[in-house]
Amino acid sequence: MNNYENKNVSVVTLGCAKNLVDSEYLVTGLKHIGYSMTNDVDSSSVVIINTCGFLDVAREESIEKILEIEEKKQKGFIDKVIVMGCLAERYGDELQKEIPGVDKFFGSEEHEAVIRYISGKEFNLDDPDIIRASLTPSHYSYLKIAEGCDNACSFCSIPLMRGLQKSQPLRWNVEEAKRLASRGVKELLVIAQDSTSYGWDASPKTTLHELFSELDKIDGIEWLRLHYAHPSNLHRNMIDHFKKLEKLIPYIDMPIQHGSDKVLKIMRRGLKSDGIKKKIEALRNANSNIAIRTSIIVGHPGETDKEFNEMLDFISDVEFDRLGVFQYSHEENTLAADIMKDEVPKDVKQQRLDETMALQQKINFKKNQSLIGTRQKVLIDISKEGLSLGRTFRDSPTIDNYVKINQDLEPGKFYDVNIDSAQEYDLIGKVV
């Protein structure tokens, strides 16, 4: 065990927002005990890579990054390379053999173990006086309310990497949100692997809608945004909140994964297409302005042209506001990988992905055109050289669209913007 105190440390984060939060806690601890953090890998003595292990493309990206950093170590630019996160959780032993230049592998939740390994010091991240470091712009932050997942979707390896669901206590989440608000966070993005299952495993049991009722009371927070809502577990009380709560903006990220009953059954998603449509109808009845983001997987075993076209028909009928598409990836030790063949060729998967995105592009453009001439409340994320990029309530950071404004505006501030024109994804406007 070595002590690298007072040397520069760089944390490289790959994957989803949940990984970003993990990195923020890690940086919190390192800063608290006196380390200097830097984004410049080349000036770092220690580099920590927080990996993603979900889907082939994410694993490939993680391995490429590990090899890139490990090569810098071999050339003498870096003293230590540490790998943590989902990829390390699942494949750490194999990776250690394949990439012996990495000094140590840690799992997804071993923040304190990483800190101990680097510093030789004990550290408790549960200290209530410690405010979590921010790796996002200061005006928005993620609140990870639970870890792991109890669902058994055929294609998903998350429970293998993150374990079963472990909800943070309601009071802890509320206090964390208050701490974030105290440092100027205006938009709070609530995340978990399945947010809608939040609290079922807690003692005493609680619910997502109870949590949002408390979050809505926090001074300073102006936007509450809900991500990763499993349609099967979305409770009517949470749906009702979209017409009742002041700060809960009309936006929900609700991955449906498919629109064909046959494929949904194979995926073990719990609802048929009609059941999903009823949830969407209930959301739109609760708030007619609600923006619904979803995720789709193409090329899952059992998806023939017939099922794929059923999914396209579903998308055309529902007209999601935002949609992401992924190609099916055979995940080791999942139900789909154990009992099914990865039977859809790669070129067909790509073709289906392209066709799905082309359809969504048309839907998105139509929805954007309907906003021309309207006035929108816009939160500015970026401003540089006469161009500002902001978001309406319809857009989550880094994954959704922007409003482009040809003015230098203050990041983190809300502006009223008239929408003058529309592109396929982004809007263009002027401050009123």
Phi, psi of 312 (to 5 degrees): -60, -40
Instruction: In whole angstroms, give the CA distance from residue 357 to residue 351.
Output: 10
- The DSSP secondary-structure symbol of 257 reads B
Task: Specify the CATH number of the domain 140-369.
Answer: 3.80.30.20
Instruction: In whole angstroms, give the CA distance from residue 25 to residue 78.
Output: 23
Is 375-431 CATH 2.40.50.140?
Answer: yes
Q: Are 78 and 46 in contact (CB under 8 A)?
A: yes
What was the pLDDT predicted at 123?
75
What was the pLDDT predicted at 122?
79
This prediction's pTM: 0.93
DSSP codes joined into one string, 369-403: HTTTT-EEEEEEEEEETTEEEEE-TT--TTTS--E
DSSP codes joined into one string, 265-330: HHHT-S--HHHHHHHHHHHHHH-TT-EEEEEEEES-TT--HHHHHHHHHHHHHH--SEEEEEE---
Instruction: In whole angstroms, give the CA distance from residue 345 to residue 361.
Output: 24
Q: Are strands 414-422 and 375-384 parallel, antiparallel or unpaired?
A: antiparallel
Give, rounded to a whole angstrom, the gap between the first and last alpha carbons of the chain: 59
What was the pLDDT predicted at 128?
66
Residue linked to tokens 């923020």? 24
Structure tokens belonging to residue 323: 């949609």
What was the pLDDT predicted at 384?
95
Which run of H or E residues covers position 190? Answer: strand 187-191
DSSP codes joined into one string, 86-144: HHHHHHHHHHHHH-TTS-EE--TT-HHHHHHHHHS----TT-TTPPPP-SS-TTEEEEE
- Place domain 8-119 in its CATH homologous superfamily: Methylthiotransferase, N-terminal domain (3.40.50.12160)
Burial class (CB in 10 A: 0-12, 13-18, 19+), 351: middle
Q: Are strands 187-191 and 140-144 parallel, antiparallel or unpaired?
A: parallel
CATH fold match for the domains 8-119 and 140-369: no
Q: Are 253 and 293 in contact (CB under 8 A)?
A: yes
What was the pLDDT predicted at 248?
98
Nearest to 268 by CA among 300, 295, 298: 300
pLDDT along the chain (432 residues), means of 10: 61 92 91 88 93 87 94 92 92 91 91 89 73 91 95 91 93 95 96 96 94 98 98 97 98 98 97 98 98 97 97 98 95 90 95 98 97 98 97 97 97 98 97 96
What was the pLDDT predicted at 111?
86
Q: Where are the domains of the chain?
A: 8-119, 140-369, 375-431
Instruction: Give the three-state DSSP class for 354.
Output: helix
